[in-house]
Amino acid sequence: MSERLKQTQAYLQAKIAPQAAELDRDPQRLAQAVKDLGNEHLLGLRVDPKWGGQGLNSLAFLQFQELVSRYSGALAFLQTQHQSAASMLAASQNEALKQQYLSEMVSGKLLMGVGFSQLRRQGVPVLKAVPSETGYQLYGEVPWITGFGCFQQFIVGATLPNGESLFGLMPFEAQTQVQGGRLCLSEPLQLAVMESTQTVEATVRDWYLPQTHVLSIQPARWIHEKDRRNVLQHSFFALGCAQAGLDIVAAAQANLPDFVERGLRSQLHTLDICRQAIYQAHLEPESSFEHRLALRAEAIDMAVRCAHMAVIVSRGAANYRDHPAQRVYREALAFTVFGQTTAVMEATLQKIV
């Protein structure tokens, strides 16, 4: 582990782990924890130093993602929306938008979410963009945008008539434009897990997105190619979640029979093998999609099983609302479906049946 990652771990252990239960349920505490990451120079990790970012390579960034999810699933999920928005903006050709927002995003002064998972859906596009003279008109729904009340803006993904994907900036609050366009947001969704991340649905009616707010236009099937290329990406959250489950077992085992300690040792070993295989596959460009997909399913399976172990050794108390075993078990549920694709759904099921 690098020196920097060790420092990050020390920060997460001291400042985040003790409030993990509150972070799972209190949106204000969670929003503050994200801002605090900015003070620790832990936002904009993938952004080039010329914008104030850390310019981390993908390996170091994924190690960071694994570490955060070990100590708080809600924080891991909320901050990753902002980190990916910052990376998307950094990769944009829109220099004016970069000048305006990137440095503030890196420091955490401006926080930004994303809403483009609808591009994964099959059939009629969920959110359409129609070109106009000076920009685009947007119509449809955004089924998931996380970070309401914490993020000020979000990057939306919409489908153009030729199938290409348009990415642009929208305010993250209900608004009616002078031109008549409307952005309506639902109440934060009632969720079994990470409710504090304040996820909402948006309805977009005739929204005018000026050319100045466009980040990029990507080819049709962009998201499907990206999902294939990055199929391992969500595995790192699952690995952190699995470790969180085993941390709970480790803390409980001293007062329990020997078979718990033996089970823990065996599962730590299995998790280690899984983790090594995932990092190795990430570093080997020639590792096949099928191999990476199987490893993603393996990581999800590990998260669920390790969280279940935590529940088992915590006994009846695992049912208390704030018990860490129960929170980690719910986080395993979330990390099972985040970024899910048809292929991931199939591989995850195959692991079980």
For residue 337, state whether it binds ligand FAD (rule: CB under 6 A). Answer: yes
Q: H helices of the chain, where?
A: 3-11, 20-25, 27-39, 58-71, 73-91, 95-107, 222-229, 235-252, 258-283, 289-314, 324-337, 342-352
Contacts with ligand FAD, 260-289, as mask; x by CB under 6 A: ------------------------------
Q: Which residues pair with 146 in a beta bridge?
A: 199
Phi, then psi, of 156 in degrees rounded to 5 = -100, 150
73 binds ligand FAD (CB under 6 A): no
Q: How far is the CB of 238 from ligand FAD (least distance, A)?
A: 13
Residue 345 in the binding site for ligand FAD (CB under 6 A): yes
Q: How far is the CB of 211 from ligand FAD (least distance, A)?
A: 23
Question: What's the closest the beta carbon of residue 305 comes to ligand FAD, in angstroms?
Answer: 21
Residue 64 token pair: 């960071």
125 binds ligand FAD (CB under 6 A): no
The one-letter amino acid code at 338 reads F
Q: Which stretch binds ligand FAD (CB under 6 A): 90-98, 115-123, 164-172, 317-325?
A: 115-123
Residue 347: which residues within 8 A CB-CB, separation 6 or more?
293, 294, 296, 297
Closest CA to 335 of 68, 102, 155, 88: 68
- Residues 134-153: x where in contact with ligand FAD by CB under 6 A, - otherwise, as a string: ---------xxxx-------
CA 140 – CA 159 distance, rounded (Å) = 10
* Interface pick for ligand FAD out of 73, 113, 135, 240 (rule CB under 6 A): 113
Given the complex with ligand FAD, which of 5 and 333 has the nearer CB atom? 333
- Chain contacts with ligand FAD (rule: CB under 6 A): 81, 113-117, 120-122, 143-146, 191, 199, 337-342, 345
